[in-house]
Amino acid sequence: MKQAAFEARYLEEIERFEKWLDLGKRKWRVPNTEDSSALQTGDVPAAYRHLCQLMALARDRQYSPDLVDRLNHLVLRGHHVLYGPAGGQRAKLFAFLAGGFPAVVRSERKLVLTAAILFFGPLLLLLTAVQFYPDFVLHFVSPAQLAQYEEMYDAENVRLGQRNSDDNIMMLAFYIWHNVKIGIQTFATGLAFGLGSIFYLVFNGTIIGAIAGYLTSAGHGEPFWSFVSGHSAMELTAIVLSGAAGLKLGSALIAPGNRTRKSALVEAAKPAIRIMYGAALMFLIAAFIEGFWSPLKIFTSQIKYSVGFILWTLVLAYFYFGGRRRGA
């Protein structure tokens, strides 16, 4: 390809990246603009990688020094913004949250859907069954544990979902530990050819469904559902994503294709770990909501349900729209 054809094909793309650098001022963010030609934040990593390829091509084909120097300068500026000590980690984190996380989740949508069925299927089944057969819950939870749950979700309890002796900081620490444990169990056990992830998805869905069904049938439905409505979007979605990441590891071991199991596992671990990064953040957010918002009784159940509905809507919209290119 001659230089004239190269410039005609790629000049607009080069100028878009240059404009992003000029406007961003090393803040990893382009100011809001109605300009449809502006480079979007979620597209920056891919645009930078392609710019590096263009620079290599220009050098290899010995295009004019002016063009090569311009591309080299842009690559150096981009590298400084993306990976420099002043803001490289923040930049990569922002890009991941802005588009990388929902994009990788969508790329593994079959596994995410499988994990959702394995988790929500038993949850809804037990939630329904215990309404008709309340004693069935004793197959999963001891009488002492049920008594504790009834106390925690009693309408007269000052702090919903907690004991009166508990405080927010202590419960926050407990919720973080509890969520991290569930996430690690569900993800890491996928190394057992996916069987561990399947077990923990079904197990957690069963336990949650059985307890939710019992509390609802025992007359504690409103306190319980108003308590869980706020953090459920983050926590339950994170459990499903942890399971999907574990299934990704398991599927690589079961069907490595033409690769060795080791190389297939290494390749599968890349998207799986990226999913777990996002799931870990969702677990953390859920813990904060559960520790500081969910126990409050100064707000009516209707307000809490509304907040829960809004959070579920935002989570689903984020994973559906986040990281999509314009027109995609």
pLDDT tens digits along 278-314: 999 999 999 999 989 998 889 999 999 999 999 999 9
Question: Is 82 within 8 Å of 74 (Cβ atoms)?
Answer: no
Phi and psi, residue 165, nearest 5°: -80, -10
What does the pLDDT average to over 82-95? 68
One-letter-per-residue 3-state SS of 206-273 = HHHHHHHHHHHHCCCHHHHHHHHCCCHHHHHHHHHHHHHHHHHHHHHHHCCCCCCHHHHHHHHHHHHH
pLDDT over 70 percentage in the chain: 88
Report the mean per-residue pLDDT for the chain.
87
pLDDT tens digits along 133-172: 999 999 999 999 999 898 888 877 777 766 555 666 778 8
The pair of structure tokens assigned to 313 is 């809507």
> At residue 192, does pLDDT exceed 90?
yes
User: Contacts from 268-272 at CB under 8 Å and sequence distance 24+?
Assistant: 271/104, 271/107, 271/108, 271/245, 272/187, 272/190, 272/245, 272/246, 272/248
What's the pLDDT at 165? 52
Taking the chain, what is the end-to-end CA distance rounded to the nearest angstrom? Answer: 29
The count of residues in the chain is 328
Cα angle, residue 75 at apex, residues 35 and 77 outer, rounded to 5°: 75
> At residue 110, does pLDDT exceed 70?
yes
Is residue 273 packed enough to be buried (19+ CB in 10 Å), middle (13-18) or exposed (0-12)?
Answer: middle
- Return d(Cα 120, Cα 112) in angstroms, integer: 12
Task: Return the domain boundaries, the chain.
Answer: 3-86, 100-321
Mark residue 125 as left, alpha or beta (left: phi above 0; alpha: psi -120 to 50; beta: remaining).
Answer: alpha
